[in-house]
Structure 1
């Protein structure tokens, strides 16, 4: 593990009017490691992504790149620094060919001056080669990207970011709308990116996806940190319990607890069972 993190947040705060979106959040990302940022809707994950990718500037705290304070004037600054963000919508055109999407906005050319033109042969070959390196053997690079599975489209986006020089990859909920098999494919590609020496920020609400691939875990709730843990310091069960709000589950179960045979009673029983599975006992232990 390198001594200096590739990217570090120290006490970052961001507000929008009277709404506190992030408050005193700190974490770090190192080359060859995956930092997972977990939290439910409204936890501040989207704001964190936008600060890391240069869309927003923090109101307080600082961002350090390779140990030096940095301020991004916009997304282009972050991209030039090697920080690539893969958003949920993937920034792809479904009816356009895979290879065209791979080079969208960065098309290779050949020729000079008025004779310069799009080098489609190179684009096709490079797109196919890079996808093969990610473990995807596409049937036809001319097929529309919309015909790929969700996991395959995520892989195209990851391969594209790596090819264009990303040092740090930010993945915005890449497994949220995928089935088990496709989510597994994306997790495999996250590990591949990590093993190639990239730093990865994996944004998710699912601890079962985060824990197998993560090296560090930042837990957010309503803009505040519930903890920033190395993998050796927290188990998946502890992380799940923190995210689930064990005390809140127990309180709700007691409120609903009436006749065990009633619908409310059955809901209470389910909640109690869920809390017990998380290692949360009725007395709060």
Structure 2
């Protein structure tokens, strides 16, 4: 009897049945400790359809730890995650991806010796239909076409999807990682400094792309140190300070100075002083 080959998930799987009253993602009381060091303490937040949430904080504030927990790369020490109202426990990044959560990290996680299209489908290769697929033959033409479409959505020019990633500039590599996240992220897209290696014009293109994703009802969590970019793109801003959430506000209600004050702790000190005044 022939061995059944694993079926590769479709890059645009149907979204799981959602509870219309539940947020796409609910983070409840999340904590993470490394021995005596607490990276996160009692962090809670909701992410709703079609919103862009800026996650900001100084280095060491816990942003990357929180993103890694949501993406399934790290297991929390305390707290719960729920997707569309159903509690989930991610044992790996694959579990999070199967739940429709896709992350684009600063290090991009690209295999530089592989072509662009192969990086987009790495670990999720498509098989050809029919007998050839059952024999393990890849549908390279379909994967190249899908990868090209994703790259076009970034607005960043790359000559051919057959180009090895090693031959790309830093900005082009970033575009490949962003396109991969957009092709595979169906419920929630996590972007960790997505424009760090891009020029001004290319940053604007990624901003337009984030807005387009939001218009499709897919929420985005944007981690960035670029405060003008955060305020321009985000509907809501969440600030972490020393592993705790210290602000979660409508972006229109905050100035860049307000956000920076929360990031540095100066805003917290002012609030404490005002609260203790007679």
Distance 1:151 1:209 in 2: 17
Task: Tell me the residue number matched to 1:230.
Answer: 250
Task: Tell me the residue number matched to 1:61.
Answer: 79
Task: Tell me the residue number matched to 1:205.
Answer: 225
Task: Tell me the residue number matched to 1:183.
Answer: 203
SS of the aligned residue for 1:218 comes to: strand
Q: Shift of residue 113 of structure 1?
A: 6.8
Task: Tell me the residue number matched to 1:106.
Answer: 124
1:46-85 alignment runs, 5 A limit: 46-85=64-103
Q: Deviations over 1:207-243 (max 9, x none)?
A: 2221111111110111012211122332222112222
SS of the aligned residue for 2:44 comes to: strand
Matched-pair contact (CA < 8 Å) for 1:145–1:153: yes
CA RMSD of aligned residues (A): 2.4
SS of the aligned residue for 2:122 comes to: coil
Candidates 127, 131, 138, aligned match of 2:151: 131
Answer with 1 or 2: which has the greater Rg. 1
Distance 1:91 1:170 in 2: 14
Distance 1:123 1:65 in 2: 28
Distance 1:243 1:185 in 2: 27
C-alpha change, 1:50 and 1:165, in structure 2 (3 Å) is closer
Instruction: Provide structure 2 residue ranges, at least 5 long, that are not aligned to the other structure.
Output: 1-19, 269-278
User: TM-score, normalized by length of structure 1?
Assistant: 0.78
Instruction: Provide structure 1 residue ranges, at least 5 long, that are not aligned to the other structure.
Output: 249-285
Distance 2:27 2:49 in 1: 15
Q: Shift of residue 47 of structure 1?
A: 1.0
Candidates 154, 169, 194, aligned match of 2:189: 169
Q: Shift of residue 81 of structure 1?
A: 0.5
Task: Tell me the residue number matched to 2:139.
Answer: 119
C-alpha change, 1:18 and 1:120, in structure 2 (3 Å) is same
SS of the aligned residue for 1:117 comes to: coil
**Number of residue pairs matched by the alignment:** 247
